[in-house]
Amino acid sequence: MTHPPTIKPASEGDAAQIAGIYAHHVRNGTASFDTEPRSIEATIAKIAECDAHGWPFLVCADGDTILGYAYATQFRDRPAYGLACEDSIYVHPDHVGKGVGKLLLSALVDAAEAFGFRQMLAVIGGGEPASVALHASLGFEHVGRMRSVGRKFGRWLDSVYMQRALGAGDSQPPSKEPA
C-alpha cells in the first residue's frame, strides 16, 4: 500500500473496481451464491439503493485503489425487520488477510449503528472459515447454520448465520417503531 488505507462512502466512480472485486469472489469462491458477476450498472444501482435509504456502503481505499468494500442493507424487506441489517463484505484478492476486512467491518458496524440499526446479521455463504473468524473477532455470535442450501462448483454449500447487537440492541425499545 502506498498510503494508509482510508474508509469512505462508496461512490458511482468506485463501481467498476467494486464490480471487479465481486466478480473474483463469484467466479472463485463460495462466499456469494451468485453464479454470474454483478455488472457495473447493477453495482451503481446497489450503491444508489443504499444511498437512497441512508444505509452505509463503504470502501477501503489506498489512494484511488479500492482494497475492499462493505455495505449493510435491511435484513428483509418487511417493515418489522426495519431495525435489523445484513452485512456484505468483500476484499480484493491481493489484500485478503492483511486487515482490510476487519477495518471495513468495524467501520460498517459503527455506520450501521449510527443509522439506527439494532441488530446486524452475517449470512456467510459456504460457511467460509475466514469470514466466520472475521465476524467472531468483532463480537458476532454463531446463531445458526442452514445445511446444503446452495450448490456451486459441484458441491453442496451451507450458510452460516452470525449476529451481533448494535447500540442498545434489544435492551430498550427504539425511539420510533418501524413503519
Distances (CA, A) of 100 to 88, 135, 138, 174: 14, 13, 13, 32
Where do we find the cell 418489522? Answer: 80
Domains and CATH numbers, the chain: 6-165 (3.40.630.30)
Task: Report the length, in residues, of the chain.
Answer: 179
Specify the amino acid at residue 164.
R
Taking residues 156-179, report their average pLDDT.
92
As a whole number of angstroms, the distance between CA 138 and CA 26 comes to 25
pLDDT by residue (tens digit) across 49-98?
999 999 999 999 999 999 999 999 999 999 999 999 999 999 999 999 99
Q: In angstroms, how far is CA 59 from the centroid of its own chain? A: 11
Cβ neighbours around 39 below 10 Å, total:
12
8 A C-beta contact, residue 106 and residue 99: no
Instruction: Answer whether residue 1 shows pLDDT above 70.
Output: no
In this prediction the pTM is 0.95
Separation between Cα atoms, residue 23 and residue 21, nearest integer Å: 5
